[in-house]
Structure 1
Amino acid sequence: MDKNYIRKEILKTREDIEVVLKKEYDSIIFKRLINSDTYKNANKIFTYISFGSEVDTKEFIKYALSDNKEIYVPKTDKGKREMVAMKINSLDNMGVDKWGILEPKTVEEDKIGEEFDLIIMPGVAFDKFGNRIGYGGGYYDKYISRKNIKCPKIALAYDLQIIDKIQCEEHDIKADGIISNKEFIKM
């Protein structure tokens, strides 16, 4: 199936999750993540800040910061279609980009991270082989490839986002695991 068609259908379905059910699923995914050895063994974590109907990462970020983990989040340059990972100490003092996504307001050279123990990847759809469909900008694929990052890459997803097979391209970066409200799929 066409990636754009899959992206459109999954986003529509994800947006239709009832608020109470979404909170329940987010809680299950959060607990699976923080109880995983992948999280426990990580000190430097690069994660997206959730937006819209995505699996909530804000509670995870707060928890990880209180657990003395170093947390990095994306700061994008939409003109160059690139991003950097900026170290944060809280979700305060963030700006909102043109799509309404929270991100650090400025790029501070001394806070840019490039080596991580864990990356939490966003995405719209995933298969059980680690293939993913993102939002179409290729930011994570470009970033991980450019920096040659080898740490575990985990996706957080609702079970409805996991489909049978995604046709991937050579430049697509795969997830090493997917934590959903049903299971932790390890590749």
Structure 2
Amino acid sequence: MSASLITLRRQLRQQRRSVCTYTQRQAQYRVCTQLFKNPHFSHSQHIGVYLHAFGEVYTRHIILECFRRKKSVYLPMICSMNQHLVWVKISKQQYLNRRFAMHRLGMQQAMQSRGRMVKCLDLVIMPLLACDHMGTRLGMGGGFYDKTLSRAPQKPYRLGLAHDFQLLEQALTRQEWDQPLDALLTPQHFLKFQR
């Protein structure tokens, strides 16, 4: 990994963590306003979504709207055997009661030990550190989403969720293992990409 990429990741992590609660709530509201009208969201029944933990755009309203619309909600869980993500279905009660386990990397995940493969999902809403105008996603560096999505090239629809400052004007270098997004949603932008 280049020194410039390490520096960029560090800067974006710090900037994302420093977003205040008011700005987070505004971002969540604006993102949800766009997302709930989006046909990919409306037509998807099985939706994978992250629990925000490191300054990502809040996902609480998205998860609650999925339950309201009778959609199935799945959370990512890191499989210790191969470092891929599996997707664990959760109930509304489980979500509201915060019945989750803390992963050693600092995020919460469902406590069940078995999950579904990503190809079973219609839509996956993904966190990121940065994205460029070609749909190249820069993650936290673990490669969990890239490894997982490389096994399901056609499905699901890949939607990145980000703050506006995470949309970069400069192009990111796309490695052969990087899995591009289908679209990026920020409080001010909705961008579609050719995958």
Is the structural similarity TM-score above 0.5? yes
Q: Deviations over 1:25-54 (max 9, x none)?
A: 111012211121110111111111111211
Letter in 1 for 2:124: I
Contact 2:88 2:112 in 1 (8 A): no
Hey, what does 2:125 align to over in structure 1? 120
Give, in whole Å, the separation in 2 of the partners of 1:151 and 1:75.
Answer: 17
Give, in whole Å, the separation in 2 of the partners of 1:95 and 1:63.
Answer: 23
Contiguous gaps of at least 5 residues in structure 1: none
Hey, what does 1:183 align to over in structure 2? 189
Structure 2 residue 49 is matched with structure 1 residue 47:
yes
Hey, what does 1:96 align to over in structure 2? 102
The 3-state SS of whatever aligns with 1:163 is: coil
Give, in whole Å, the separation in 2 of the partners of 1:102 and 1:16.
Answer: 20
Hey, what does 2:30 align to over in structure 1? 28
Hey, what does 2:65 align to over in structure 1? 63
Letter in 2 for 1:53: G
Letter in 2 for 1:82: H
Q: Deviations over 1:82-114 (max 9, x none)?
A: 221111113132111123311111223xx5254
Give, in whole Å, the separation in 2 of the partners of 1:169 and 1:100.
Answer: 26
Aligned-residue sequence identity (percent) comes to 24
Give, in whole Å, the separation in 2 of the partners of 1:3 and 1:127.
Answer: 14
Contact 1:121 1:175 in 2 (8 A): no
- After TM superposition, the score normalised by the length of structure 2 is 0.87
- After TM superposition, the score normalised by the length of structure 1 is 0.91
Give, in whole Å, the separation in 2 of the partners of 1:156 and 1:84.
Answer: 20
Hey, what does 1:77 align to over in structure 2? 79
Hey, what does 1:155 align to over in structure 2? 160
Contiguous gaps of at least 5 residues in structure 2: none
